[in-house]
Amino acid sequence: MKERVRVLDDNVARWGDPNVAVTSADPVAFARLGGFFDIIVADVPCSGEGMFRKDPRAEAEWSPAVVTLCAARQKRILADVWPALREGGILVYSTCTYEDAENDANLRWAAEELGGEVIPPEDEFPESGVRLTSCGNLLKVGEVPGEGQWVGAMRKTSGAPASRNASAASSDAAARALAEVIRPVRSGVVKGVRKGTDFVPDPDWALSLEYDPAAYPAAEVDLKTALHFLHRDTIVLPDAPMGYNTVNYDGIPLGFVKNLGRRCNNLHPNGRRILMDI
């Protein structure tokens, strides 16, 4: 969803793995990639009973009609993404509600109607308050430390084989076709952009697992300066060379500044800045 994708994109950037694509598209967009994925995790919109303690709006918006609506929407999502899962692949299905109609019943429906088998849940965390249901595991508020949720899994027993068995040319064509419809917000990591004679490093490049520490000088700072950088304040690095530097705390790059001598231009994205007072 468009209102959520930017938050996801920021979290992926902080994670630093360059082998991740972030998209904003309806699940049906993936259906054309027959058997492309080994694993699909469908964390679907739900009636939100597990969020009642955390978000009073979730309780106010709940009704039996919402449960019915969500169950139908979840079936649609499962049916839409199912063709993209290879035969033998695993679908992980999760919600943040306690409703059987949205949890076990929907996973059983998917197994029967789409062609799969439910993977029997195991009682792995009884000491943590995790309950077993017929098709998955349930976490209830008050019985576990966090919020409420449910998760189950199934294996695809029929349908498209894995696309890895297709030719490289057809796989490349499928990937290009996918890129046209899923509207990727992120695909890998951009190192930067050229502005006139200046190459401006992208903030995400400093966070990437593939970042080369020798690419730019590193300015090691104390905790207070690191927090001011993340607050997107103007900082001064008198001992750093002029031009672009990474700001490092405890050896970890936090992002880039352009050192102008008396001050630094802070390249930390405004949308990720620490909002609390420093």
Domains of the chain, CATH where assigned = 26-182 (3.40.50.150), 189-272 (3.10.450.720)
Contact status, residue 117 vs residue 111, Cβ threshold 8 Å: yes
| Backbone region of residue 159 per phi and psi (left: phi > 0; alpha: psi in -120 to 50; beta: other values) | left
Catalytic residues: 96
When pLDDT is averaged across residues 228-232 and rounded to a whole number, the result is 97
Cα 48-53-59 angle, rounded to 5 deg: 45
Taking the C-alpha atoms of residue 6 and residue 205, their distance in angstroms, rounded to an integer, is 17
When pLDDT is averaged across residues 28-57 and rounded to a whole number, the result is 92
Q: Say which residue, 219 or 125, is predicted with more confidence.
A: 219
Q: Of all residues in the chain, what percent carry a pLDDT higher than 70?
A: 92
Res. 164: pLDDT tops 50: no
Per-residue pLDDT at 174: 61
Model confidence over 78-99: pLDDT tens digits? 999 999 999 999 999 999 999 9
**Residue 144: CA count within 13 A, CB half-sphere:** 17
Per-residue pLDDT at 158: 82
Taking the C-alpha atoms of residue 178 and residue 20, their distance in angstroms, rounded to an integer, is 15
Instruction: Reduce the DSSP state of residue 150 to 3 states and report it.
Output: strand
CA distances 69 to 49, 220, 269, Å, are 14, 53, 38
Per-residue pLDDT at 162: 59
The DSSP code for 211 is: -
pLDDT-derived band at 165, boundaries 50, 70, 90 = very low
